[in-house]
Chain A
């Protein structure tokens, strides 16, 4: 060291300073990340929705995870996939409630995922196949649903369909008296214009004929608590913003 020429000593000092500066910056960034992660997890999720700084952090954490795990079914623009019964969360929100707490539970444990804590209160039964109503009844219910959506329909069939909806079909029990769905059961609105599996007559008939049992995986063993909280917040706020754009 003592025998080192002056310019080499200066160069080494500069390198050391740069290394220390880089380490300090990295440490500060890591500390900042930990602090924000801590806040994101500890604060009430509803309050975080009004904290733009934390919401921005949530989006940073969530976006790569959404692209990696969720976008295949939920779509790049949150538009869902009627073929799989994945809801359009940009337009209709979440089937099991739109509060961050509800969305977080859905992401954690999934829908009919097989996890004991998944959302699995009920399933759309195959009403025609099970013999609860006839095929003709189902087509009448379809006409009633067309009338609810304000589409052209056969008024007599719709009237019959209405009595099946509130009668032997028991549809109102899960889809609600006003047909707007029930978040406790995760049942979708039947009033249109957007439907979980599509609102054309044939698709509606297929739902009544064969039933439906849409699924969402449980992410509890795949993603960290921070990633899940961030995704819940991101998916409560981003699709709404996307819908109003």
Chain B
């Protein structure tokens, strides 16, 4: 009998504790980690202490009770305004609020990834797989010239390879600048980053350009506007960083990649459970 009674008391105690401490339970008490509750939402002590320090430019230990109360009141005001914003559904029409919400959700999703520390082996493997990322940006000075025919371009290239001055060959073969590399209305003969060259040339032209060393001329590349010749005036190739030199960038890139994967997985999950209907003209 006594055993049953003990069991009943323990059971009731656990149930009672669970009932009054469960999330969502309305309470008049402020939990120890909070400094105030506003409509049952906590204002964290840690945030309050940092805010007090910032507001009064003094270490928290040196702030007065009056200053601390002032901070609490300001934080309560802020919390009330935030809650009002949710009441009037601010996120549905204010782009700043929407952006902040998106950023906040992404952070929630990627928090675990941010907290995990990659091992040195993982970092080195990542570096090996992405070596191209850990180089200085290459710089080129070049001319992208167009001839009316492939034959003419071939002969012009031969002349240039034999050391004839560029301007002479341009005149002799009637070569024109493609107009892809312009600076304030003039042909850009200054330094151009390799990524910019890549952006301005199509694949075939870039493939012909990238390996050229200083002073070299490409073979003619026929495009719709004529036969192109790339004359590399100067080419400073990218310099690869060692793992040690790039270690902190490797670390942050590793994290960014991991975050991107988690973000994509989260969006896939959200889409899988969402009811999304797209207008017929865009549904195909």
Genuine A/B complex = yes
Binding site for B on A (CB under 8 A): 1, 12, 16, 19-20, 23, 37-38, 40-42, 44-47, 69, 72-73, 83-85, 99, 101-102, 104-105, 108, 110, 113-117, 129, 206, 210, 212-215, 217-222, 224-226, 228-229
For residue B246, which residue of chain A has the nearest CB? A210
Tell me the bound Cα distance from A38 to B116 in angstroms: 29
Contacts of A16 in B (CB 8 A): 2-3, 6
Please list the 9 inter-chain residue pairs (A to B) with the smallest Cβ-Cβ separation, ordered nearest first.
Answer: A225-B33, A41-B32, A46-B61, A221-B111, A217-B115, A101-B49, A217-B114, A101-B60, A38-B32
Tell me the bound Cα distance from A124 to B111 in angstroms: 24
Which of B102-110, B151-159, B180-188, B195-203 lies at the interface with chain A?
B102-110
Contacts of A210 in B (CB 8 A): 241, 245-246, 249
> Is A116 in contact with B32, judged by CB distance below 8 angstroms?
no
Q: Which of B47, B112, B136, B246 contacts A222 (CB 8 A)?
A: B112
Tell me the bound Cα distance from A62 to B95 in angstroms: 41
Q: Which of A38, A44, A117 contacts B60 (CB 8 A)?
A: A44
For A47, A83, A85, A110, the residue with the greatest tally of chain B CB atoms inside 10 Å of its CB is: A83
Which of B211-219, B230-238, B251-259, B269-277 lies at the interface with chain A?
B251-259
Q: Judge if B117 is at the interface, Cβ distance under 8 Å.
A: yes
Tell me the bound Cα distance from A116 to B102 in angstroms: 12
Binding site for A on B (CB under 8 A): 1-3, 6, 10, 32-33, 44-47, 49-50, 53, 59-61, 103-104, 107-108, 110-112, 114-117, 136, 241, 244-249, 251-252, 255, 259
Q: Which of A101, A219, A224 contacts B115 (CB 8 A)?
A: A219
Q: Which of A69, A99, A213, A225 contacts B61 (CB 8 A)?
A: A99
What's the nearest-Cβ distance from chain B to residue A214, in Å? 7
Tell me the bound Cα distance from A221 to B110 in angstroms: 10
Contacts of A19 in B (CB 8 A): 6
Tell me the bound Cα distance from A218 to B106 in angstroms: 14
What's the nearest-Cβ distance from chain B to residue A234, in Å? 15
Contacts of A38 in B (CB 8 A): 32
> Is B114 in contact with A72, judged by CB distance below 8 angstroms?
no
For residue B104, which residue of chain A has the nearest CB? A116
Given A129-B136, A213-B248, A217-B114: A41 in contact with B33 (beta carbons within 8 A): yes
Tell me the bound Cα distance from A127 to B229 in angstroms: 37
For residue A39, which residue of chain B has the nearest CB? B32
Tell me the bound Cα distance from A187 to B74 in angstroms: 30
Contacts of B241 in A (CB 8 A): 210
> Is A85 in contact with B49, judged by CB distance below 8 angstroms?
no
Tell me the bound Cα distance from A219 to B129 in angstroms: 30
What's the nearest-Cβ distance from chain A to residue B259, in Å? 7
Q: Which of B47, B50, B112, B117 contacts A73 (CB 8 A)?
A: B117
For residue B2, which residue of chain A has the nearest CB? A16
Contacts of A114 in B (CB 8 A): 107, 110, 114, 259
> Is B117 in contact with A115, judged by CB distance below 8 angstroms?
no
For residue A37, which residue of chain B has the nearest CB? B32
For B32, B47, B59, B110, the residue with the greatest tally of chain A CB atoms inside 10 Å of its CB is: B32
> Is A115 in contact with B46, judged by CB distance below 8 angstroms?
no
Tell me the bound Cα distance from A177 to B271 in angstroms: 54
> Is B112 in contact with A101, judged by CB distance below 8 angstroms?
no
Tell me the bound Cα distance from A110 to B113 in angstroms: 13
Contacts of A44 in B (CB 8 A): 60-61
> Is A99 in contact with B60, judged by CB distance below 8 angstroms?
yes
> Is A101 in contact with B248, judged by CB distance below 8 angstroms?
no
What's the nearest-Cβ distance from chain B to residue A8, in Å? 14
> Is B60 in contact with A215, judged by CB distance below 8 angstroms?
no
| 12 A-B pairs with C-beta separation under 8 A | A16-B3, A72-B117, A99-B59, A101-B59, A101-B60, A114-B259, A115-B111, A214-B248, A217-B117, A222-B111, A225-B45, A229-B33
